[in-house]
Amino acid sequence: MTALLDPTPDGFRRAGAPHLVISGALHYFRVHPQQWRDRLRRLVAMGCNTVETYVAWNVHQPAPGMTIFEGLADLGRFLDIAADEGLDAIVRPGPYICAEWENGGFPGWLLRDRNLRLRNRNAAYLEQVDAWFDELIPVIAQRQACRGGTVVMVQVENEYGSFGDDTTYLAHLRDGLISRGIEELLVTSDGPARMWLSGGTVDGALATVNFGSRTLQVLEMAQRELPEQPQMCMEFWNGWFHHWGEEHHERTGGNAAGELADMLEHGMSVNFYMAHGGTNFGLRAGANHDGKLQPTTTSYDYDAPIAENGEITEKFRAFREVVARHRELPPLEEHLAQLQLAAVPARLPAGEVRVERTIAVRETERFTRAAEVHPVPPAFEDIGLERGLLRLSRDIEISRSDREGWPAITPLKLYDLHDRAWVYVDGIYAGVAGVDPSQARIPNEQRTDDTDPATVELAHLADRLLPDGGHRTVRVEILVENLGRVNFGPRLGERKGILGGVWQTIRFLHDWEADAWPLEDMGDELGTLVAQAPELAANVPEEAALPVLVAASFEAAEQADTFLDVSDAGHGVAYVNGFCVGRYWNIGPQQTLYVPAPLVREGHNEVLLLDLEKRPMRLALAETHAFEASGA
């Protein structure tokens, strides 16, 4: 069969006619399935003729032997809706996707095999990729344009020139796509310079470039390095993402529209990255690493032309005006009416979220129950924990010695900690160690967090634990948090946990009980705990209470979008009607969590917070997103 898109030296031809690809990135796994059609129609309203999506492996195979293609993971349905709306589709199946997504899309369970190396021709890795592609690629292949579907491009790997130069690996992926039935145009995408293109391209796949500025310079380079082919920007970075603790990013529509105009006027096809960013629901946000871990926020709004809640922005209007010079489009208001779209989707009014009950998690069976004993603290991956918290516990002996009039207890040292740990001794909060994104705006060389080993001091507890001196046995409990696996660069594939062990005085401590807390799946369990446990008295100090579970509620007159204002909370995870909407952190810049309409019930709605650092006293509903640093 013949591919629908024909790449010629004069540009793309679609079914024989000259064609500019005007695509918008919209990741199905970042949008509630009941909103897919709405968001795809908004792409059409902006003037797009194509939608692009990555495929996140870890969404579809959350555990070995488990494959999901339903709900949020129903890629086939997403592509079918795109076809209904008249959009072509570009699919980027990875297996690596970057995307500011946990582990670049790779399942964490892959890392259990110490002999497996990601993104090269390592045999153990390719065996897993091939098995996954056997499941995935047929879903894409049967929806190709040449078979009456919507898929017109399929990408080989992703920005591989920014990671390696294993051409045998790229050829293996290319051949695997073809052998599994891909007949439409194969492409690659890389950074806008020879050094990236030289490692990321492969024969038989059209090379494209990713950039956000200097269009004319990039175009000149592309025509030199990639002659006799149509030019395409596979990722036009028209906005940017956020890391916890860093500043809020914005880019004006006029600035980005100028770059877009240069592309289209010179016949360069484009994919807006992102057209609609969506949300990193649950704990699936990834992280970068520039010497310190930079965990990504729950919001993936990206300052995109279609906002996280679907709202049409000034950037949308600016882009549409440019696109309309190259495609015939009806007036915007008329187009929105045709597509049955509101410029601003329905949302609930601002209002109160009533805090009804707070309990101390450490007083519940979940915190104190016995767990399997491991000779050393296991990594998350060793016990099948993708994301969430790992509770480690055991008894240790401590002793007190007074030095120069000050009491002293030897600290605990956590070697190779990934990422953050809260330590409790006999039910008393001792301290937190590890990554501290609240220091993100301080130069790395001046930061005091994320040292190795991470040290937790106990001396300040001497008068409470050993008021009369001497020594005794105490119970130590450690909660280890995965803040997001790195999704880009040489640290891709790092494991989580206290990987080097826990040291006390002169030796490592062995025989740790390890209990996995997969928080994304624990909404119902935590709801039961908060209903059954004794309520926390108002006068209990936070150090004795944390972490806390907070039950709250709000009333809704209709099913509509809202934003949960968590600016008065500390750091933790929020659930709405049992669904884990994501992580929050008062260090900013994100201060609200988007709650899509399909999660909201007409009438009574339940909110649950697991907070590790503060007892929240006030929650609210907001009408708009808030991105700002609180100064906390």
Q: Which residues, 6 or more positions from 268, have their beta carbon under 8 angstroms from its beta carbon?
A: 215, 219, 231, 232, 233
* Mean pLDDT, the chain, integer: 96
Q: Which residues, 6 or more positions from 397, have their beta carbon under 8 angstroms from its beta carbon?
A: 471, 472, 473, 474
Phi, psi of 54 (to 5 degrees): -80, 170
Residues 77, 464 contacting (CB under 8 angstroms): no
Class of domain 20-284+310-338: alpha beta
The label of the residue with tokens 């729950």 reads 298
CA end-to-end span of the chain: 60
Per residue in 191-228, pLDDT (tens digit) is 999 999 999 999 999 999 999 999 999 999 999 999 99
Per residue in 88-131, pLDDT (tens digit) is 999 999 999 999 999 999 999 999 999 999 999 999 999 999 99
Q: Which residues are catalytic?
A: 159, 235
- Cα 282 to Cα 244: distance, rounded to the nearest angstrom: 15
- Cα 235 to Cα 189: distance, rounded to the nearest angstrom: 8
Verdict on whether the full-model pTM lies above 0.75: yes
What fold does the segment set 351-359+533-622 form as a domain?
Jelly Rolls (2.60.120)
The label of the residue with tokens 């209002």 reads 351
Q: Give the C-alpha distances (Å, rounded to integers) separating 618 from 151, 487, 490, 566.
A: 47, 34, 41, 8
CB atoms within 10 A of CB 270: 27
- Cα 234 to Cα 90: distance, rounded to the nearest angstrom: 10
* C-alpha dihedral, 549 to 555 to 556 to 562, nearest 10°: -40
Indicate the DSSP class of residue 268.
Answer: -
The band of 543, judged by pLDDT with boundaries at 50, 70 and 90, is: confident
Residues 630, 587 contacting (CB under 8 angstroms): yes
> Domain segments of the chain: what residues?
20-284+310-338, 351-359+533-622, 365-518
* Tokens read off for 297: 């926020």
Per residue in 591-628, pLDDT (tens digit) is 999 999 999 999 999 999 999 999 999 999 999 999 98
- Cα 86 to Cα 185: distance, rounded to the nearest angstrom: 19
Compute CA 87 distance to the chain's CA centroid, rounded to the nearest angstrom. Answer: 26
The mean pLDDT value for 19-26 works out to 99
Per residue in 385-420, pLDDT (tens digit) is 999 999 999 999 999 987 776 778 999 999 999 999
Sign of the C-alpha dihedral, residues 201, 202, 207, 208? negative
Per residue in 548-582, pLDDT (tens digit) is 999 999 999 999 999 999 999 999 999 999 999 99
DSSP strands (E only) in 277-388: 287-289, 293-295, 351-360, 373-374
Q: 351-359+533-622 and 365-518 share one CATH topology?
A: yes
Which CATH number is correct for 365-518, 2.60.120.260, 3.30.2310.20, 3.90.1170.40, 3.30.413.10?
2.60.120.260
User: 4-8, 92-96, 463-467 — which is least confidently predicted?
Assistant: 463-467
The band of 1, judged by pLDDT with boundaries at 50, 70 and 90, is: low
Residue 630 has pLDDT above 50, yes or no: no
